[in-house]
Amino acid sequence: MSVPRPGAARIAWSSPKVDRRLTEHAGYTVYALAPIAKGELILTWGGVIITTEQLHHAPQYAADRSIQVEENLHLCSGLVDDVADCVNHSCNPNAGLRGQISLVAMRDIAPGEEICFDYATSDGDPDFYMKCFCGQPDCRGEVTGNDWKTPSLQERYRGYFMPYLQRRIDAQK
């Protein structure tokens, strides 16, 4: 009798309801293959933990595949090429963070929709800056490591911030 073997371990997990595709405007994007209900888990990131200083010296490829999970600490999937690494920012997103490594639907998502979250909910490094071309009517035009301080964003993403940023927000009050 053969012993069933577990599948190959993966560094990250993504729902079978999502996949990625290469676009002209934004490189790889993640999109829904099937309806996803509000609150449903979309993906979980994995990787190694690096400090902010290490991140600043990392190749852009690796920096693009990282997310800040604590003060001065970032989860980085490095050279692994995974669906979970392809989630873009949007100023009007359909997904948000749950805890430190998971992304969930903030509302019901229809097949074909691109999966996005607002990097304001994860990036608290004052040196972080990117221009935004998300194309949403309420696009902020730029995304920075100080966006979490904006009261309207704190209100909008209540419950969807990275825990270390929620602690900063709570400490302001």
Residue 126 CA to residue 60 CA, distance in Å, equals 17
Residue 132 CA to residue 44 CA, distance in Å, equals 24
Residue 66 CA to residue 49 CA, distance in Å, equals 9
Closest approach of Cβ 92 to Zn ion, in Å?
Answer: 8
Nearest CB to Zn ion, comparing residues 58 and 139: 139
Nearest CB to Zn ion, comparing residues 101 and 106: 106
Nearest-CA neighbor of 50 among 31, 66, 29? 66
Nearest CB to Zn ion, comparing residues 26 and 73: 26
Nearest-CA neighbor of 147 among 170, 131, 123, 117? 123
Closest approach of Cβ 63 to Zn ion, in Å?
Answer: 20
Q: What are phi and psi of 91, to 5 degrees?
A: -80, -5
Catalog residues that contact Zn ion under the rule CB under 5 A.
91, 132, 134, 139
Closest approach of Cβ 10 to Zn ion, in Å?
Answer: 30
Is the dihedral angle over the CA atoms 39, 94, 64, 165 positive or is it negative? negative
Nearest CB to Zn ion, comparing residues 97 and 134: 134
Closest approach of Cβ 91 to Zn ion, in Å?
Answer: 3
Nearest CB to Zn ion, comparing residues 64 and 142: 142
Closest approach of Cβ 134 to Zn ion, in Å?
Answer: 3
